[in-house]
Structure 1
Amino acid sequence: MKVLMLHCRYKKRGGEDLAVESEEQLLSTRGHAVFPYRRNNAEIEPFTIVEKAALPLTTVWSNKTLAEVRHFALNHQPDVAHFHNTFPLISPSAYSACQLAGIPVVQTLHNYRLVCPGTTLSRGGKPCECCLGKGIAWPAVRYACYRGNRTASGTVAAMLAIHRALGTWTKRVDLYVALSNFARDKFIAGGLPAAKIVVKPNFVHPDPGAERDVSDYALFVGRLSPEKGLGTLLAAWKQLGSKIALRIVGDGPLRRELEALVERLGLARVRFLGHLDRQAVFAAMKSARFLVVPSECYENLPMTVTEAYACGTPTIVAGLGALEEMVADERTGIHFVPGNAEDLACKVEWVWTHPRDMEEIGQAGRAEFVAKYTADRNYEMLMAIYKRAIESRQEDLPWRVN
């Protein structure tokens, strides 16, 4: 099979970029021809004043992308086009290019951008559904949900509204891939057609294995930003006193503020390790007694949980969004009440004093990884999705331009 893979990379490489690269490698190693169409948000930095002024317009519709993708599709004749991030440099014009060339379109929904200009369905670090299902996402503009900028938020809101009116989201995409059932339900509530949304999680490859050399510390891995619940995490650690060491892996806009908070609270056993490469993260997970995921937003499908499962590392997660779905309480992990530091401290103390129970939970998590999150399982699901998209487009074959 020939697959056209379209993705606009982020300036700072994150989980979405990793997921795209993993899927490309998976297809290539199974003998499929992958043709990447790439842009990178870092391209914006050297733009001239005129180019930057035009960016809001090209975010809504890029004639350059329309021509390039159509030419690319006609030259390579892919069997399917798999979209990931189109914002802001690719634009939704790429869907029309594929439709004109008769190429079936699959869109993976890595975040909530198609129903939320801020992408996370959160505001002020808490869940927010103010724009869900609205024709025009005015609240996002009012609250400057995208990067704290009303103009930028207005650009995203306009892009969503214009393409909703044009029928882009309903007519030019054959199949959407949500990462969890929770996310699927939110996209349906936001107006995407239920019949076109399937669920396929991301996967972990290569398998890091479940051999562990456990040390006495707890672990957080993720972006240091308001919606990740780090304030709740540190408040819980303050209640725990100096019993348990905590290591925080990751970086983000709150790092200095959090480091100051740790010093102010006298949390001598909390250490910030900064950004680590993936192998170092796996090593930290394999040594940790457990992983804590205190998110206070609707996570889509956090890779940290699937990676912990792969490592056989037990997890304590906020019982919210896809976390509540993917972690079975007291079977593959432990839930706590989102935003409740007292409940988190209580759960951490129980976990710390019941290592044998947590070993069993870690093993159950590993079994969950084998059942749902391996490359082999993902490949089966991906091929079924491509087959369905191709079949759904066959009635439109007269559109194909040769």
Structure 2
Amino acid sequence: MRILQLHNFYKIAGGEDVVVRSEKNLLEAHGNSVALLDVDNDAIASKFSQTMTAVNAIYSHASKQRVLQEINRFRPDIVHVHNFFPLLSPAVYDACREARVPVVQTLHNFRLFCANSFFYRDGKVCEDCMGKFFPTPAVVHGCYRDSRIGSAVVGTMQSIHRIRGTWRDRVDRYIALTDFARSKFIEGGLPPEKISLKPNFLSPDPGIGPGSGEYTLFVGRLSPEKGLDILLKAWEKLGQSIPLKIVGDGPLADQVKHLSVKLPGVELLGKQPKNRVLDLMKEAKMLMFPSGWYEGFPLVLVEAYAVGLPVIAGNLGSMSTLVVPGRTGLHFRPGDANDLIAQVEWAIAHPEELKNMRQNARREFESKYTADCNYQQLFKIYELARA
């Protein structure tokens, strides 16, 4: 099969960018031809560029023509859209329709219904714009990059394409990453019969680790929605019983660094290469996942399961089903530092149960998140889109 991928890369690289490249490599490894048409948010620099981006985010005729040219050149059997926002715009769907090429869209986040794509505002889950014709709350609160103008642009894009039927008619197949996310997209108005389920995957397989290190681990972006305030509050007490290593970078880096100096047992390692992260995971006792938003499908979870690392996560959104209490990890009440403390202390006091969770986590990876499993799922979705 010949697959054309479309993706707007982010200014700060994230999991979506990794998934795009991983799927490209996976498809090519199985004999498919893949072309990637990509744009980069680094192109948005000058005030003029920012203004034009705002206009084009709603509908970019230039992007439509660029996609048409690439379709004519590459002659794909399928176009797989990962992220169209803001530089490509929903105009790419019209290009595919004119060229009569089926479209698959991976729903990595909630951008179609939420200006900041997270369903998260002011330190808590927010669905104020869900179901509204125009997302006025997002504009009032400046949800997109703390900008009311920017939020109005995103809201206009959402509303216009809802009226045009873009989301309903111009995508042949959607990919949701979790059952929870699929339910949210259906609630937002996407046709349920068009939404397939396919998680992220990890390749190559790093193999299971021994878990012999006497520490817990956090891996992720150091930003408010990741629940770092709850995590550090918990370690005001837990630091005396088990160390916490924090891997990552982000807007809260300075704050976390300051607190890590004051809190016993907390060590900030900063951003680390992937191999080093996997080595740390192999030795860790538990992965801390205190995220306060719904999450998409965090690659760190797949990595943890691959090395046999149990996860302690907030019972919220996708994590409520991705982590199975007593089997692959434990749940705590979202935002409740005391309950997080209780779960960690229980795990420390039950080493045999924790050992069983390691084996179960690895089995979960082998049954659901390998490259071979993912390829079979992805190819079937492409065939459904072409049917």
AA matched with 1:273: L
Asked if the contact 2:239–2:264 (Cα under 8 Å) also holds between the matched residues in 1, the reply is no
- 1:396 aligns to what? none
Distance apart, 1:81 and its partner CA: 0.3
SS of residue in 2 equivalent to 1:273:
strand
- 1:367 aligns to what? 363
Q: Render the CA deviation track for 1:142-179: whole Å, top value 9, x for unaligned.
A: 11111111111111111111111111111111111000
AA matched with 1:172: R
Q: Render the CA deviation track for 1:196-254: whole Å, top value 9, x for unaligned.
A: 11110000111110033521110001111111111111111112252211001111111
Is 2:341 aligned against 1:358? Answer: no
Query: In structure 2, how many angstroms separate the alpha carbons of the residues matched to 1:13 and 1:54?
Result: 23
AA matched with 2:305: Y
Query: In structure 2, how many angstroms separate the alpha carbons of the residues matched to 1:125 and 1:172?
Result: 35
Asked if the contact 1:4–1:34 (Cα under 8 Å) also holds between the matched residues in 2, the reply is yes
SS of residue in 1 equivalent to 2:318:
helix
- 2:257 aligns to what? 259
Asked if the contact 1:3–1:32 (Cα under 8 Å) also holds between the matched residues in 2, the reply is yes
- 1:168 aligns to what? 166
Is 2:377 aligned against 1:381? Answer: yes
Query: In structure 2, how many angstroms separate the alpha carbons of the residues matched to 1:375 and 1:143?
Result: 41
AA matched with 1:259: K
SS of residue in 2 equivalent to 1:321:
coil
Distance apart, 1:44 and its partner CA: 1.2
Query: In structure 1, how many angstroms separate the alpha carbons of the residues matched to 2:84 and 2:144?
Result: 16
Matches within 5 A, 1:145-224: 145-212=143-210, 214-224=212-222
Query: In structure 1, how many angstroms separate the alpha carbons of the residues matched to 2:308 and 2:302?
Result: 10
Distance apart, 1:98 and its partner CA: 0.5
- 1:80 aligns to what? 78
Distance apart, 1:190 and its partner CA: 1.2
Distance apart, 1:260 and its partner CA: 2.8
Matches within 5 A, 1:1-400: 1-45=1-45, 47=46, 49-212=47-210, 214-263=212-261, 266-391=262-387
AA matched with 2:8: C
Asked if the contact 2:239–2:265 (Cα under 8 Å) also holds between the matched residues in 1, the reply is no
Distance apart, 1:302 and its partner CA: 1.4
Q: Structure 1-normalised TM-score?
A: 0.94
Q: CA RMSD in A?
A: 1.1
Query: In structure 1, how many angstroms separate the alpha carbons of the residues matched to 2:8 and 2:288?
Result: 31
Query: In structure 1, how many angstroms separate the alpha carbons of the residues matched to 2:272 and 2:155?
Result: 34
Query: In structure 2, how many angstroms separate the alpha carbons of the residues matched to 1:301 and 1:80?
Result: 24
Asked if the contact 1:306–1:373 (Cα under 8 Å) also holds between the matched residues in 2, the reply is yes
- 1:394 aligns to what? none
Distance apart, 1:304 and its partner CA: 1.2
Distance apart, 1:267 and its partner CA: 0.9
SS of residue in 2 equivalent to 1:233:
helix
Gaps of 5+ in 2: none
My pick for the range that moved more, 122-131 or 254-263, is 254-263
Query: In structure 1, how many angstroms separate the alpha carbons of the residues matched to 2:257 and 2:107?
Result: 33
SS of residue in 2 equivalent to 1:339:
coil
AA matched with 1:284: L
My pick for the range that moved more, 179-188 or 52-61, is 52-61
My pick for the range that moved more, 83-92 or 250-259, is 250-259
What is the aligned length?
Answer: 387
Asked if the contact 1:124–1:227 (Cα under 8 Å) also holds between the matched residues in 2, the reply is no
AA matched with 2:97: Q
Query: In structure 2, how many angstroms separate the alpha carbons of the residues matched to 1:343 and 1:164?
Result: 41
SS of residue in 2 equivalent to 1:378:
helix
Q: Structure 2-normalised TM-score?
A: 0.98
Query: In structure 1, how many angstroms separate the alpha carbons of the residues matched to 2:102 and 2:239?
Result: 57
